[in-house]
Amino acid sequence: MIDFKRPFFRLMIDFLDTKLGELLYKTQALSDSVAWVEAHTPQLRSKIVKEWIQEDQLKGGGIDSEGQVIGFYSEATEFISRGRKSAGDPYDLDDTGSFYRSMFVRVLIDRIEIEFNSGKMDDQLWWDDNIVNLTDENLQKYIDEIKENYGKYVRKILGVD
């Protein structure tokens, strides 16, 4: 039964002294921008580049973000590479390793950008910046990881498990 003789603000103070009130107070510390940056852990940024773009897309099939094969190595490339690249195999863009080493993820306020040094590939007819974007399948993996990392951020700030 509510004691109507007690002032309303007293009920409010009592509510804030509860665990729920404490939790509501902590929500003020939540920040969209901090969550966005923290969701892009070094592990996730590495996974985007090394697992999804380099291993899955380029080495796994030589495809761009649209799932299209970038191109195929020629017999001349097979000869020059001493058989390391076989004629007819799709481009994996892993010649000296410098292109792969140059790739990294830049986290901006409203998007991520995959940075790279395309160097000698810029003047090639087959070159397109979509080569280093995520396929729909890998984009979904990225979205799933971001959702999970947002949840971790919220639980950390609120102090709940």
| Residue-wise pLDDT tens digits, 100-116 | 999 999 999 999 999 99
| pLDDT score, position 62 | 96
Instruction: Assign 5 a pLDDT band (cuts: 50, 70, 90).
Output: low
Q: Give the global pTM.
A: 0.82
Distance CA 125, CA 64 (A): 14
Does the pLDDT value for residue 7 go beyond 70? no
Sign of CA dihedral 23, 27, 30, 32: positive
Q: Is residue 22 part of a domain?
A: no
Q: Is residue 105 part of a domain?
A: yes
Domain residues for the domain of 44 are: 33-158
Per-chain mean pLDDT for the chain = 90
Give 18: exposed, middle or buried? Use CB within 10 Å, 0-12, 13-18, 19+: exposed
| pLDDT score, position 78 | 92
Does the pLDDT value for residue 48 go beyond 90? yes
Q: Is residue 24 part of a domain?
A: no
Bridge pairing between strands 104-107 and 112-115: antiparallel
* CA angle (142, 147, 149) in 5-degree steps: 95
- Structural domains counted in the chain: 1
> 21 with 115: CB under 8 angstroms?
no
What is the torsion angle, in degrees rounded to the nearest 10, for the CA atoms of residue 89, residue 92, residue 98 and residue 102?
170
Q: Is residue 132 part of a domain?
A: yes
| pLDDT score, position 17 | 75
Provide the token pair at 32: 């969209």
Q: Is residue 18 part of a domain?
A: no
Q: Is residue 76 part of a domain?
A: yes
